[in-house]
Structures are given as structure tokens and as C-alpha cells.
Amino acid sequence: MKDLVSHQLVKYLEERGIEHIFGLCGHTNIAVLSALEKSTIAFVNVRHEQIASHAADGYARVTGKASVVLSHLGPGLSNAATGVANAALDCIPMVVIAGDIPSHYYGKHPHQEVNLHADGSQFEIYRPFVKRSWRVDRPDLFPEIIEKARFALISRPVDRDEKADKALDTVSNGILSELTPQLQNASWDRDALEGVVASVAEAHDTKLGKLAGPLRAALAGRAVSPSVFDMMLVLGRDETIARLKDASA
């Protein structure tokens, strides 16, 4: 029997060291709450989504760990927006997980759907102030999307595995030290980031591909991960720079 996505999500969060989830019950996230019943993760139940996002923000600031918010769709997402934006503006690590209506209801005005500019697009409400937002359209896409969000769940200092340590040993600290200030002043978009890394690689007579593994190791603790530039974009400038400085220290 295949495991439900809700159970996979809770198991994934447990493996990432998440101990608390802040949120509110809704008909679109009831499956996750059911999976949490037998989990080691404590669900902090509140009476308004804005309380959940501000509480998660404060939790992350005090503990230094990433926080997680579980929300309902529509008004749940919009209620939580102020706390999420506050965390984003101060580079506080937070992951927001929201339930959604079944896809066959998109654009048919089901209960609490927000579809002002496009059908099934309520997750785009967060686009102006979060690093990344994704909608899981099919169950088979869940592993790929949750893996992209994993970098926000890793606290510093990054715990590197053996392969990551070996990957870092293949480059000198000088390369990482030289790369850091250039990234600090670069435009934070994919083309600009690729240009900076390629320029540093060329200056040290190496190929861009040979820097990818060490950079993944510095940012996520693993030498084999999704695109290093995707990681940088998800982490943001401040967190990327901090992790590179830690690795080159």
C-alpha cells in the first residue's frame, strides 16, 4: 500500500528535526493533522492564522531553527500573510504549508477559494514577499517540491555528511572567500549568480561544474542536491553568504 502524501510530509518534517508546527484546522489540511496524531511533532493550535504566523516567527527567532506554519486555503493564507511577511523581511526561516481544494474544483468557486486573477492560483498571494512558492498539482511531484523547500529547514551551522566534506576538500578556502563578497554585491537572480560563480571559476582555472559540488556541500551539507543556483535563490542572499562564510572559516 502506498503511503499518503500527508504521512510522507509529516515523516519528512520529523527527519528534518521539526518539533513544533503552528496552525489552525481546516477542511483542506485535516489529513496532515491526522498524520500528526502519531507524530513526535507538537501541533500548536491557535484561534487565528495571524497568531500562528507571528508565533512561528517568534519561535524561529528565539530558537534559531526554522519554523513551520500549517494553514487552510483562502482566508487562512491571507490571515497569516502579515506574520509571514514580517519573517521574510527579517530573513527568518519559515515554511508555510497550506491545504488546497481538489483540482477539479479550480475556478468553480468552491468554499473559500481565492481566484481573483486566475483559477487555482491562491498560492500566488505570497509571491511578492516570499522566496519561493509552489503548488503541488500531483502526488508524484511532492518529493521534488518538498526537496526544494528543504534548505529553509536546515539550521546553521550546516551538518555536512562525509561526501560533502570530501567535496569541500577539493576547493581551497580562497575560492569560497573570494566568491562571498562578489555574491554579496550581485543581483540576486539566476543569470547574475551563474555569472559570478563562472567568473570566479575561470579566475582559478577551473570549470563551473567542479564548483557545484563544493557549493552544495557548503549550503546544504550534501554534495548531491538540486541546482546550486536554485538553492541560493531559495535561501536568499543573507543566508547563502552566512553559510559560505561558515564553510570557508
Q: Which residues of 5-20 are buried (b: 16+ CB within 10 A; e: fewer)?
A: bbbbbbebbeebebee
Task: Tell me how crowded residue 217 is: count the other CB atoms within 10 A of its CB.
Answer: 27
User: What pLDDT is recorded for position 101?
Assistant: 78
Q: What is residue 153's DSSP assignment? A: G
**Residue 21: is its pLDDT beyond 90?**
yes
What are 101-112's pLDDT values in tens digits?
A: 777 777 777 666
**Residue 137: is its pLDDT beyond 70?**
yes
User: What pLDDT is recorded for position 73?
Assistant: 82
What are 151-161's pLDDT values in tens digits?
A: 666 666 677 77
Distances (CA, A) of 32 to 12, 25, 140, 189: 12, 10, 17, 34
**Residue 235: is its pLDDT beyond 70?**
yes
Across the range 174-196, mean pLDDT stands at 87
Q: How far apart are CA 212 and CA 120, in angstroms?
A: 36
User: What pLDDT is recorded for position 123?
Assistant: 81
User: What pLDDT is recorded for position 230?
Assistant: 80
Which uninterrupted H or E stretch holds 68? strand 67-71
**Residue 29: is its pLDDT beyond 70?**
yes
Report the C-alpha dihedral over residues 29, 115, 96, 92, rounded to 10 degrees. -160
Across the range 167-185, mean pLDDT stands at 81
**Residue 5: is its pLDDT beyond 60?**
yes
**Residue 37: is its pLDDT beyond 60?**
yes
Range picked from 27-36, 96-105, 175-184, 231-240 for highest mean pLDDT: 27-36
- Specify which residues 96 forms β-bridges with: 69
% of the chain surpassing 70 pLDDT: 89
Structural domains of the chain ordered from first start: 5-153 (3.40.50.970), 162-248 (1.10.10.350)
Higher pLDDT, 41 or 208: 41
What are 42-93's pLDDT values in tens digits?
A: 999 999 999 999 999 999 888 878 899 999 888 888 899 999 999 988 878 8
Q: How far apart are CA 238 and CA 21, in angstroms?
A: 25
User: What pLDDT is recorded for position 206?
Assistant: 82
CA angle in degrees (0–180, nearest 5) for 88-144-153:
35
Task: Tell me how crowded residue 237 is: count the other CB atoms within 10 A of its CB.
Answer: 17
How many CA atoms are closer than 13 Å to the CA of 124, on its beta-carbon side? 9
User: What pLDDT is recorded for position 116?
Assistant: 62
Which uninterrupted H or E stretch holds 184? helix 173-184
Q: Which residue has the cell 553568504?
A: 241
- Give this prediction's pTM: 0.67
Confidence of residue 239 (pLDDT cuts 50, 70, 90): confident
Across the range 196-200, mean pLDDT stands at 89
User: What pLDDT is recorded for position 152?
Assistant: 62
**Are the C-beta atoms of 158 and 246 separated by less than 8 Å?**
yes
Q: How far apart are CA 138 and CA 103, in angstroms?
A: 9
**Are the C-beta atoms of 93 and 66 separated by less than 8 Å?**
yes
Q: Following DSSP, what letter does each residue of 2-18 receive, concatenated?
A: PPPHHHHHHHHHHHTT-
User: What pLDDT is recorded for position 156?
Assistant: 62
Residue type, 131: K
Q: How far apart are CA 196 and CA 24, in angstroms?
A: 43
Residues in the chain, total: 249
